[in-house]
Structure 1
Amino acid sequence: MDITVETTVAAPIAQVWRAYTSPEDIKRWNAASPDWHTTAAAVDLRVGGAFSSRMEAKDGSMGFDFAGTYTAVTENEMIEYVFGERRARSVFAQTPQGVRLTVSFDPENQYPVEQQRQGWQAILDSFKRYVEAGA
């Protein structure tokens, strides 16, 4: 995994975990910018379980599906998954400032690495704002 993004969320780890793994919560925070939104999400949070989300531009001009399979799950600690030929890992660590969430993933070949990093970081920043606002 070549790209890593990170944030620290000032909230209890159980709240952070729930917001990260609940389909209803995912639909509220999973967007890189205000002109996008997630219209559908499904989570079967277990090894071998599937996940999916549908992200769309709010103006209807484009959209895409993000889906994969969980390969490792340790509640309140770590989630690993595959999507297509790529892998990703989310690690949750309690710190004095809150929960440090680190997401590492394999880059894809279509977009520059820095653009991918910025997009995933923007989604993580949206997650932090959502949880800290009382999710």
Structure 2
Amino acid sequence: MAENGYTYTLTRTLDAPVAKVWEAWTNPEQYAQWANAVPGSVEMHVRPGGTWKATMVTPGGEFPLGGTYLEVADKRRLVLGMNVPGRPEPVAMSADFTDLGERSEITVSQTSDTKEERDMAEQGSTMLLDGLSKFVANS
């Protein structure tokens, strides 16, 4: 085991300016479209301490998620705390946005307690980034 858990980091270059990518990630209606969330289930209060929630559609059924924004730096960084049943502290996932002019880069990272949790989280984040990439390139 790593000293502080098991971490994954995913980086994507997107064919859209950072303002468009930020809007897609922080606007509930847009997020629902690309993140495969149940329409109307997404709520976002994008500010430090603000809450968020979404019901995700997965092959195994619907999966409710929620938590708080731990850090918000406009068009640069989001750190989301995700509430996990049975855990006293939220699991933090960071998303860093880099302005590349007409393109942008997003880096998502999360640390988990076990390799299995990390692998599941990485798979979920890969699906999110796939959806985001397609959405911003086609909208």
Q: Give the TM interval when normalised to the shorter protein.
A: 0.7 to 0.9
The aligned residue for residue 127 of structure 2 is: 122
Aligned partners of 1:79 and 1:119: how far apart in 2? 17
Kindly provide the amino acid, as one letter, of the partner of residue 65 in structure 2.
F
1:54 and 2:55 matched: yes
Distance 1:112 1:131, change over 3 A: same
Instruction: Give aligned pairs, total.
Output: 127
Offset at 1:117?
1.6
Distance in 1 between residues matched to 2:8 and 2:25, nearest whole Å: 19
- In structure 2, the gaps of 5 or more residues are 1-5, 84-89
> In structure 2, do the counterparts of structure 1 residues 82 and 112 end up closer, same or farther at CA, with 3 Å as the change threshold?
closer
When normalised by structure 2's length, the TM-score is: 0.80
Q: Identify the residue that residue 79 of structure 1 maps to in structure 2.
A: 78
Q: 1:81 to 1:23 in 2, by over 3 A?
A: same
* Cα shift readout 1:45-93 (whole Å, capped 9, x = no counterpart): 00110001001247xx621111110111111100112112311111000
**1:39-118 paired onto structure 2 within 5 Å:** 39=39, 40-57=41-58, 62-84=61-83, 85-95=90-100, 98-107=103-112, 109=114, 111=116, 113-118=118-123
Equivalent residue, structure 2, for 1:38: 38
Report if aligned partners of 1:6, 1:121 keep a CA contact under 8 Å in 2. no
Task: Please give the secondary structure, in 2, of the residue aligned with 1:90.
Answer: strand
User: Which of structure 1's runs of 4+ aligned residues deviate more than 6 A?
Assistant: none
Query: C-alpha distance in 2, partners of 1:55/1:108?
Result: 23
Unaligned runs of 5+ in 1: 32-36
- Paired with 2:117 and 2:48, the residues of 1 have a C-alpha distance of 31
Aligned to 2:10: 5
Aligned residues of 2:71 and 2:79 also touching (Cα < 8 A):
yes
Partner of 1:21: 26
CA contact (8 A) 1:30 1:38 kept: no
